[in-house]
Amino acid sequence: MLQLSLTIAASALLGIDLQKHTEKIKLSLEHCMRYVYGRMESMIAFPDWIPSPQRKLFRFHLGSLNKVIYDIIDQKQQIGSQTDLLDLIIASTEYNESDYHKEFLRDDIMTLFLAGFETTATTLTWALFQLARYPQMQKKIFEEVHTITESDLKTGAYISKATYLSAFINEILRFYPPVWSFSRQSNTPTEINGYTINKNDFLVLCPYSMHRHSALWQEPDKFDPDRFIDNKIPPFQFIPFGAGIRQCMGSHFAYMEITMFIIQLCKKFILVQMDNQSIEFRPGITLRTKQPLYIQISPRH
């Protein structure tokens, strides 16, 4: 899934083909995320300048990722203007060839790119796993999507035809929110439920617990896409993409990518659950599992 969403993000957002770099990116990203998450979890934040084997490895892999991004910028400059998102970013700001601006551009691309593919890959993994686990839901989705044509995908007409699939995707994002926690820093002193919040305090918000809170949801531990059909969910109760002015910029892109992929997959294949698979979370920056999740896929006849 990571490979798929990496290829889609590179091509749709950056207008480039990254197929031959995917293994390297996956490996470096894995190391960097593990290191960053380790630091976030740690009770003691050792300063950056203290040497350690982990830090050395982190620097090496960060260097690899940076090189990929700088190569993308160079490649872009050689190809000239197209009409993808990266071109718009370059055109909309005053980037020039100095290292200073190149660094800003690197940061923008890295954010967009990393935010855009790991999250989508995690959502797709959970979606496929649940499709295999609940054949009735898969059947319902197939009945809904088998009449969707290539032209529907191009014009956007698929959206009105895939209402159950849309509810299914929302339920995936509720049940297994890929970004299961994120933080905010208070810019003013305030009070929440009797707790004093000082200026600059960090607050951690946890979509995973909010999405499974019994005060907010009926039978929160039941996986049930129907709860999203004809049901207005109050704002700030369902926050897989965050909320407020810093909420996810790519939510529409993500919905589109996930929906189109599941439509294409369910039209051609049947997904079947494999025995003896237990789910043990290994939450990092996204909600992953300790062991890989396997399913069986066979062609539809």
**Residue 241 near ligand HEM by CB under 6 A:** yes
**CA angle, 168 as apex, 281 and 213 as ends, to 5°?**
55
Distance CA 127, CA 121 (A): 10
Which contiguous run of DSSP H or E holds residue 196? Answer: strand 195-197
What distance in Å separates the CA atoms of residue 137 and residue 270, rounded to the nearest whole number? 12
**Number of residues forming the site for ligand HEM (CB under 6 A):** 21
Choose which of 62, 153, 249, 272 interacts with ligand HEM (CB under 6 A).
249
Query: What are the strands, taking DSSP E only, across the chain?
Result: 182-185, 190-192, 195-197, 202-205, 269-273, 281-283, 287-289, 295-299
Only one residue has tokens 């929160």, namely 220
- The minimum distance between CB 290 and ligand HEM, in angstroms, equals 21
Q: Binding of ligand HEM at residue 254 (CB under 6 A)? A: yes
Q: Is 287 in the site for ligand HEM (CB under 6 A)?
A: no
C-alpha distances (whole Å) from 174 to each of 13, 66, 248, 280, 281 are: 26, 33, 15, 18, 15
Nearest CB to ligand HEM, comparing residues 1 and 137: 1
13 binds ligand HEM (CB under 6 A): yes
CA angle 203, 209, 211 (to 5 degrees): 115
Q: How many residues does the chain have?
A: 301
240 binds ligand HEM (CB under 6 A): yes
Tell me the per-residue interface mask from 212 to 231 with ligand HEM, x by CB under 6 A, - otherwise. Answer: --------------------
Smallest gap from residue 300 Cβ to ligand HEM (A)? 26
Q: Which amino acid is at 262?
A: I
Does an H or E element contain 270, and which? strand 269-273
Interface region with ligand HEM, contact rule CB under 6 A, candidates 45-53, 67-75, 114-122, 191-199: 114-122
Interface pick for ligand HEM out of 36, 73, 115, 229 (rule CB under 6 A): 115
Residues 123 and 258 sit within 8 Å (Cβ to Cβ) = yes
The residue among 203 and 274 lying less far from ligand HEM, judged by its C-beta, is 203
Pick between residue 233 and residue 274 the one whose CB is nearest to ligand HEM: 233
Any contact of residue 58 with ligand HEM (CB under 6 A)? no
Check if the beta carbon of residue 216 is closer than 8 Å to that of residue 237: yes
Residue 248 C-beta: closest distance to ligand HEM, Å: 3
- The site for ligand HEM (CB under 6 A) is made up of 13, 111-112, 115-116, 119-120, 123, 178-179, 182, 240-242, 246-250, 253-254
